[in-house]
Each structure stands twice: as C-alpha cells, then as structure tokens.
Structure 1
Amino acid sequence: MASSRSLSMSMACAVLVLSLGVVMVNSVGLSRFDELFHPSWALDHFSYEGEALKMKLDHYSGAGFSSKSKYMFGKVTIQIKLVEGDSAGTVTAFYMSSDGPNHNEFDFEFLGNTTGEPYLVQTNVYVNGVGNREQRLNLWFDPTQDFHSYSILWNQRQVVFLVDETPIRVHSNLEHRGVPYPKDQPMGVYSSIWNADDWATQGGRVKTDWTHAPFVASYKGFHIDACECLIAVADAANVRRCGGGEKRFWWDTPTMSELSLHQSHQLLWVRSKHMVYDYCSDKTRFPVVPVECVHHRH
C-alpha cells in the first residue's frame, strides 16, 4: 500500500496537451474524447455531429460534462458555438472549479437573449468560496454563427479570461495587499447548459420561450495545457509539483506574469467598447470599493 501511494504521488502531476478526441502524452498514444471527459448529467441530452459535441436544453433537463482529471495552473481552451435564435433565459457555461464550500472557481457564463439582442458574457472569480465579482460584456461578433475559442489562463501571478486570444479580464495576484488568491486547490474543467430565466436575461424579466426548444450549444477543439493532478493525492503534494518548485512550466516564465503591451491595449479596448457591467463600479452592491478593485490596474 505504501509503495502504491508513493507511486501515486510520484505520478501526481504531469503536463498534458489535451484535445477533443485526441490526447498527446509524451508524443505517443491517442485517446478518444470520452476517455478524457464524461457527461456529468443528462446523458440523453448529448449528441455528436462530426467533430462537434452538442448539448441540449429542453423543458425536461439541461446537460453538463466534466473533465476526469483536475489541474493546477496552465491554460484551458474550448471552442463553442452558442444557442441560435431566441435563447432568452438560457445559460451556457464553461468554467473551472475546485471542490468544497471554500472552493475556487473561474466562470464564463453566456447569457441568452431575445432574437436580435446581443449575447452577454458574464465572468466571475471565486476565491475561498467567495464570488460576487461579476463582469459582463457584449461580444464583438455573433457567437451563434460559428465556433469561437474561450480560454482561461491560470498561473501564480494572474488569471486571464480570453476570447479568441483577446484578453477580456485579468484577476491579478494581490496577496501582498492582503487579497486572497487561488493557488492551492486543483480544479476540474466543466461545461453545462441550463435554464436560468429567473435572472439570466434582463434580470429575469424575459422568460424562456419553450416553443423554441431544444436549445443547443455546440463544442469542439478542447485543449488543456496544464499540470494534471491525481484526485487522490493531497493538495499539498500537488502544490509542490505544480507550483514550480520541482519544475518550471511555460506559464511560470516572467513573460506570463502579466499581459504584454499589445494585450493590455486589447483589454483596454474591450473594457471601453464592450463592457456593460463591472462589480467594481457597482456602488449599490459595494458602497465600499472591494480592495482588489482599488489595486487592480485593469
């Protein structure tokens, strides 16, 4: 038993490059999508069309899937084509999350709308179980007409949300300012589609029109370049292996500690042209500006 545990710990973390239907491990061996991910609920609401995975929401159920592995630091990307037509009341989510009441979580939530109205993309960051850090923006393209890539980059210095490699949000490590930062909990990768017409569209004023069901979101091009952690291994062991103490990963290099000048300009453009809500500016919810908002440069 002891030797088995030692073997598990020695294998705790490995850098894998994962893709939909394919996983490359040390340049050899291929895996199918269902060897990397699995439906977490409503298996009968999944279908496949060529290389695309489709999940549907109808009056009976939504659907969701999760990664079989968990990760600590790296980059996760998924290509999504969102629900076409009248999608009011629906939410399609792509996110990373750890477990437990004090979990960490990075969210993309795509909030459906009535036909002709723009999709809103809501991002949120939970640290030690505390969220309430919502930002919302309109996309600069129609996300229902084609696949676009959505990514989360996570290292010890920053969490970056990207759309087609354009940064739309940065959550920096401000521990030196007394702000907790997510850095010690392995996180799974998840996606789901569900009915949230109590809040998703215009604050819940527009309800889901079930005559348009089923609502279908399509996925392809999963890519995970991250430090993989065995679930059975203690978090402290994962931190030692994935935190750069034993090996230096590409996301730990100095150039990844902050946005490049070009990326900073992109983020400023997104914020000035497309952001419609920022919790940092919501004085009704936060009469006292949250401390991370004071110190964040973006």
Structure 2
Amino acid sequence: MKLVRFGPKGREKPGMLDAAGVVRDLSGVVDDIAGETLTPAGLAALRALDPAALPAAPAGERLGPCVGRVGKFVCVGLNYADHAAETGAEPPAEPVLFMKATSAISGPCDDVVRPRGSTKLDWEIELGVVIGKEARHVSEEEARGHIAGYCVVNDISERAFQLESTGQWTKGKSCDTFGPIGPHLATAEEIPDPLALSMRLSVNGRTCQNGSTRTMIFGPYSLVSYISRFMSLQPGDVISTGTPPGVGLGRNPPTFLKPGDVMELEIEGLGVQRQRVVDYDG
C-alpha cells in the first residue's frame, strides 16, 4: 500500500495510490496520514478498502509530505561505511543521533530555500523509516513490528552552519524546507528487505549519489531498537537513516548547491523527488 498527502501546503488531504498510480482521496475515511492511521489497526482498515471505490484526487495536485503531524524527526549520521570513508571519519561504534526540526519538513517536489548566510548548501538522499507502533526499549527482533513503512528523505544540510564556527548538526539541518519527505509512504509489506534498495541522487542531471542501503552500518531494525532506548517512538515519528557517498562536502573540490540547481532523488520502490533551489526572499 502506498499512502500520500495531496493539496496546498498546510491543507493536505490523505490519499492512497491505486494500482494505476492514481491518487485516491481518503479524506472521507481518515483525517490524515498521521498518528492512529499509521498504527497496525489503522493500516489494516485502509488495506480493507477498495481503492476504485474512492474518489480520484484532481489531476496534477501537489503532493505534500507523505506523513502529517510528525512528532519527532530523528536523524542518523555517518551510517554508511562508504560515506564515512569519504568524509575521513571512522565508522561509528554506535549510531550517531541528532534531531532535525519538524518545521523543516516539506513536500517531495517543493522548492528548497537557501537560507540567509548560507554558503555550503548540500544534499543527502536517505531512507526514511516511519514509526507505526509506540516503541520503548524494543529489541531488534521486535522493531520490525513497530515500523509502518518507508519513504525517501532529502536531508538537506548547510555545512557551514553544521560544522564551522559554533557549528551544530541540528542547526545545520533544520532550516525551513530542509526535510523533503515522500512522494509516498510505502507500507512495510511493500519493502520486504529495506537493506536491498538502490539509491540515486542527481544535481542538474549529473549523478552525484549512486548507492545502496546494503552499505548501511546500522539497519532500520537496529536503529529503531537503539533509538527506543533513549526516547519513546510514537506513530508518525520519522527516522532518517543516513546517506551513501557522493555528497557535495565529500567531492574534490567540495561542491555546493546554488539557486537554480535541480535535485532529483529516487529510492527503489519509494518513488522520485525533484526540488529546485531558490534563495530566501523574506
């Protein structure tokens, strides 16, 4: 099952994709793709529906973030062995965690805004894990049952904010529009092996990241278990699981985004994102 949210920013409606890829309106069934809708019972109720019996959304509607009312946006750093190597870092012995502000969340094809003072804007394609069942101190074996599904995340980063002067990872990751998620949430049964997914990101048509979730150091089940030791995870929380090599910071010389650049991202089975970079005009 593939779930979406569609419509104007801040007024998105819940939907699902039918077998032909047409968006079907779920607003007569649930209020959002969030919270209780993402629990095992909520998803089971949606699976019982006949998509053909639901109204089709208007053609060409904007797709919003595929999950609404996200409570926590937890990110994992240096979680691909080949990405750690390109940055010159030792692979971590335990997951490196940081938080991304939920106000950074945007739609999969919304513009990415380069904030005031930005000089080193960077891209990161990542597998997103969406929680569907509350998790506290769960084992790795139990963790699978706490995942509602998966989506594409672009963990946009401002490296100067993140790493220089009084740099902090959260500060460099949390500007508005720095968290595109979607286009759809693929429920867990759609992705039987989350560690066997190809990943690709291009900038202006040139491939920059071409990797696989196979090179993750800590897989999704391990991460859910680990994170649940330090904070409870609630339905609708999003975990962004790290990026493969090919980020701008790791290139020689380093290469960063500028207004007018266009990023395209795709993870196998999870759809395509496309964002244009624009300057902040406020």
Choose between structure 1 and 2: higher strand proportion.
1
Q: What TM-score do the two structures reach when normalised by structure 2?
A: 0.26
Q: Which of structures 1 and 2 has the bigger CA Rg?
A: 1
Q: What TM-score do the two structures reach when normalised by structure 1?
A: 0.25
